Each structure stands twice: as structure tokens, then as C-alpha cells.
Amino acid sequence: MNRRAFLASSAAAATAAGTVKLATAATVPLTGETGDPLPVPPSEQLPLGPLAGSRYPDSHIEALDKRFKGSPGTGAVERVATGFRWAEGPAYFRAGRYLIFSDIPNNRQMRLTEDDNHLSVFRSPSYNSNGNTVDRQGRLITCQHGGRRVVRTEFDGTITIIADSYNGKKLNSPNDVVVASDDSIWFSDPSYGIGGNYEGLEAPQEQAKHNVFRVDPKSGEIKVVVDDFTQPNGLAFSPDEKKLYIIDSGITHGGPAHIRVFDVDVGGGKLTNSKVFAEGFAPGFTDGMRVDVEGSVWTSMGWGDAKEDGVRCYASNGDLIGKIHLPETCANLTFGGLLHNRLYMCASTSVYALYVNTRGAAYP
Ligand code: MG
């Protein structure tokens, strides 16, 4: 091969290589805005520890009925972490004694270790993660607004996509998730995470409705279990898994602010007998909830009267039996601690905690 022929063949090879490269090019989506931590001078940061004025019995804990188990007596609401733009999605890992939660606008998941209250970044970018939970094997399950998916963090640290589309179209923005005893994964899919670039990535809605889905543990099949919510949000099973509670925070989009309860066939993925379980949150709304061993429903409260910010507790028959008052709008909560008797509450810029006189249901 002479020099001219060599150059010509090299050019052809380069062109071919270039063509191949272009043909296989894939677009990597943006991971979303990654915020800097709140630039609050240390002297002006919200203090950690008991809240101001928390002489025992703590006036932040309001019993409306003898059934309320919110007060340990010799205890008070404590601020255990602060400095977030908007905290949601607490999930407690008993084996490691740490809490994972999302700081959605800062595009990060945080980890708070319970032994020395050490706070650090667990994952960033988090694809604007929102709801987190722990599955029956102890793995982290996460809803990602920016990724428009539900993912599982495996024991080796790799991430498995559980659900990112339905009927060939992208999910809206999975918000909250719960795992049943048969390992099925149930999640809500409102539009909050695609409405702008602050808590996710602005994008067209592809799903016609805002559904709650069930992912089958064996086949991986994704199925709609209910499709008539304005904005489905937090969800929780009763301890016996005969009922499923689902929050509609649709007041943000012209709908209701209430909790519905269904009879649920966990294995079949069927919801029947829909009823409004709790209402009266407007002009504010509730976002996330957990259930204790007696079946009482502990649900967040915020966005209305500041005096109502915090948590409301409803007996299983729907009676409002108690409140926990926080200095910030509360979005999500979970029971943590080795004995599941420490209520962690994600409220705007801070995480609050309270030892309560009951225990969370074995699984969130
Ligand atoms: Mg939520």
C-alpha cells in the first residue's frame, strides 16, 4: 500500500468509525439542579435539641383522646438535623441505626446516624429523590422525580430500576412507595416532579392519569391499582394489610386534601370499597403517613395555619386523637429506632424526632 492509498483507507476507516460512534451515541439525561447547602451562618442556624419551651409535659404534643400515644411523658420533640431546602422521604435502617431521607431541591439523599447524630450526604445527585422505604430484605427503595422512576439500592450498592414506564410511556414522577409482605412494591405517581426544575426536571406528562401502581414481585409487571386521584401521594398499609391508606394532596391542583382508605387484596393488586378516611386538612394538606402497631395513622400536616404544622394522629376508626406541633410545615414521617418507637418527621428545612409511647408497624 502506497502512502496515498494508506491515507485514503485510513480516512475511510475514520469515517466508518465516526459513523459507528454516532450511530451508537445515546443522550445522557440531566440529573437535575444540584443546590449548595443553605448559606446560613452558624450563629443563625436553627438549634438542634429540644424545641424552645418544651417543659415536660411537652406542649408540642397535644392529646385529643386517651387513645393517643404521642407522649412518652418524660420526653419532648427534638430537632435532630437542619439545613435542608425541603426534606422528605425518611426511611429507617435498623441494622445500621441510621435514617435515610431526601433533600429534594438539593438533589441529594442524606444519612443521619442515630448513635452520634452524624449527618452526611448518602447520594448526590439523587435524581431529586423523594419517597424512600425499606423492603422486607432491608434494601432501600427510592422514588426519583428527575429519573421518573422507582429504584432499589442492592446490597452491593448497585441500583436496579424497578419501574420507569407504563404502557410504553414514562411515569410522571414517582412520589412515595411502600412494600407489602409479598414483596410487591406500591407507589404513587403524581406530577409534582415534572412541573418545574426545582424538585425535578420540567417535562411533559406522558401518563394520562395520576395513578397508584403495584409492581409484581415475581414478574415485575406494573399494574394500575387506582387511577382516580388528583395527586396521589403518601401510602401505607394497615398492620394486617387488609387496608391501604392513600393520601390525595390534589388541593395543590384543584382537588381534595384528604386520606382515602381501601380494602386491599395485596396479592391480586385489587382495591375495593373506597372511603374518605380523614379530611379537614384544607387550606393545608397532608403528604405522607405511617401506621403504628395498633393501626393508628400518623400523617403529616402543613401548608395551612402555622399552628397546625406537624403531625396528626387518627385512630383506625378515623377519629382524630392527637397532634404534634412543629415549627415548620411537615411532609413525611416514619417510625425508627431499634424498637420502632422513635418518630422521625421531615419538616421543611429540618428533621424532628420524638420518642412515642407506641411502635410503628413492623414494616412501613
Ligand atoms: Mg410525598
Task: Give me the DSSP letters along 61-80.
Answer: EEESSTT-----SS---EEE
Residues 66-81, mean pLDDT to the nearest whole number: 94
DSSP state letters, 226-260: E---SSEEEEEE-TTSSEEEEEE-GGGGTS--EEE
Residue range 32-70, pLDDT digits in tens: 888 777 788 888 889 999 998 889 999 999 999 999 999
Over residues 108-143, the pLDDT tens digits come to: 999 999 999 999 999 999 999 999 999 999 999 999
Structural domain of residue 53, as residue ranges? 48-355
Whether residue 157 lies inside any domain: the answer is yes
Identify the pLDDT of residue 272. 98
Local confidence band at 26 (pLDDT 50, 70, 90 cut-offs): confident
* Ligand 1: centre distance to CA 5 (Å): 65
Q: How far is the CA of 188 from the centre of ligand 1 (A)?
A: 9
Tally Cβ neighbours within 10 Å of residue 136: 13
Q: Ligand 1 centre and the CA of 257: distance in Å?
A: 13
- Indicate whether 2 belongs to any domain: no
How many whole angstroms from 159 Cα to the centroid of ligand 1? 22
User: Residue 286 C-alpha to ligand 1 middle, in angstroms?
Assistant: 9
**Does any domain span residue 18?**
no
Predicted pLDDT at 18: 45
Question: In this structure, what CATH number is given to the domain that contains residue 99?
Answer: 2.120.10.30
Share of the chain above pLDDT 70, in %: 93
**Is 143 a member of any domain?**
yes
Q: Are strands 98-103 and 108-113 parallel, antiparallel or unpaired?
A: antiparallel
pLDDT range class, residue 24, cuts 50, 70, 90: low
Is the model more confident about 16 or about 168?
168
Domain assignment present for residue 13? The answer is no
On whether residue 3 sits in a domain, the answer given is no
The whole-number pLDDT of residue 117 equals: 95
pTM of the model: 0.92
Determine the distance separating the centroid of ligand 1 and the alpha carbon of 21, expressed in angstroms.
41
Does residue 174 have a pLDDT over 60?
A: yes
- For 181, the grid coordinates are 409482605
Please give the Cα distance from 355 to 72 (Å, whole number).
Answer: 6
CB burial of 138-148 (b: ≥16 within 10 Å; e: otherwise) equals eebbbbbbbbb
Distance 131 CA to ligand 1 centre (A): 6
Is residue 263 included in any domain, yes or no? yes
* Total number of domains constituting the chain: 1
Q: Is residue 348 in a domain?
A: yes
Q: Please choose, from the candidates 163, 84, 133, 74, the residue with its C-alpha nearest in 3D space to the C-alpha of residue 288.
A: 133
Asked if 139 contacts 130 with a C-beta cutoff of 8 angstroms, the reply is no
- Ligand 1 center to residue 141 CA distance, Å? 14
Distance of CA 1 from the midpoint of ligand 1 (Å): 68
